[in-house]
């Protein structure tokens, strides 16, 4: 049987890798938005909110210790995101409706979103199945290495960039179903 420190180390590595993957995915979505000029639709924006929720759960684990409640945030956010992505897949599966945005390796971003969230649910459920006696429940003031600080700062930057992006795209109104331009940039 593995000892407590080894399991906690593996779980921290898992949380760090998952968080890094979420950050890279959100940055890639921004790349599609800024470089390829593919403005996110309302369902895409909801998926970004879900991925930020997933990132928040992993950040909580890295900062305050490994807790089932933090994994619950990850699971609920991943389920929310996968349902939104599944709704978007259902909208575009009907013949003649077309797809939204460019494909990446043959699949659209909303399909990748569904696949990734399904994998996150499976992996997080597996992490929760590890004997809970090894989980750090009340540990405070966990040392935060430079990598964790960087992940926190990057996640905060992505959240702020998303807020600015949504304001520029939609203003204070509901976002259009098929956005073609930034609403607030045209008013200048």
DSSP states of 69-131 = HHHHHHHHHHHHHHHHHHHHHHHH-STTS--SS-EETTEEHHHHHHHHHHHHHHHHHHHHHS-
Closest CA to 162 of 175, 144, 177: 175
Domain edges within the chain: 4-186
d(C-alpha 5, C-alpha 9), whole Å: 6
The pLDDT, as a whole number, for residue 141 is 46
d(C-alpha 125, C-alpha 182), whole Å: 39
Which structure tokens are listed for 163?
């807020």
What number of other Cβ atoms are within 10 A of residue 13's Cβ? 10
| C-beta separation of 63 from 142 below 8 A | yes
d(C-alpha 42, C-alpha 19), whole Å: 24
The pLDDT, as a whole number, for residue 104 is 73
The pLDDT, as a whole number, for residue 39 is 85
Instruction: List, for residues 158-187, the tens digit of each pLDDT value.
Output: 999 989 988 888 888 888 877 777 877 765
Strand partners, 104: 107
Architecture of the domain delimited by 4-186: Up-down Bundle (1.20)
Which structure tokens are listed for 98?
């077309």
The pLDDT, as a whole number, for residue 84 is 95
Instruction: List, for residues 83-126, the tens digit of each pLDDT value.
Output: 999 998 888 777 777 666 676 787 788 889 999 999 999 999 98
Calculate the CA 112 to chain-centre distance.
Answer: 12
The pLDDT, as a whole number, for residue 53 is 96
d(C-alpha 10, C-alpha 103), whole Å: 34
Which structure tokens are listed for 40?
């996110």
| C-beta separation of 151 from 23 below 8 A | yes
Instruction: List, for residues 124-151, the tens digit of each pLDDT value.
Output: 998 888 755 545 544 544 566 788 889 8
């Amino acid at each position: 049987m593995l000892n407590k420190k080894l399991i906690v180390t593996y779980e921290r590595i898992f949380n760090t890798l998952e968080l890094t993957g979420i950050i890279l995915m959100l940055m890639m979505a921004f790349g599609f938005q800024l470089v390829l000029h593919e403005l996110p639709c309302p369902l895409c924006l909801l998926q970004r909110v879900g991925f930020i929720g997933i990132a928040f759960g992993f950040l909580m684990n890295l900062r305050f210790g490994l807790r089932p409640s933090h994994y619950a945030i990850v699971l609920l956010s991943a389920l929310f995101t996968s349902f939104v992505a599944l709704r978007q897949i259902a909208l575009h599966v009907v013949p003649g409706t077309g797809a939204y945005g460019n494909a990446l390796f043959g699949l659209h971003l909303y399909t990748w979103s569904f696949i990734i969230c399904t994998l996150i649910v499976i992996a997080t459920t597996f992490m929760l199945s590890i004997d809970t006696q090894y989980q750090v429940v009340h540990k405070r003031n966990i040392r935060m290495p430079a990598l964790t600080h960087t992940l926190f700062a990057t996640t905060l930057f992505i959240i702020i960039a998303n807020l600015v992006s949504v304001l520029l795209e939609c203003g204070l109104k509901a976002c259009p179903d098929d956005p073609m331009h930034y609403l607030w940039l045209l008013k200048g």
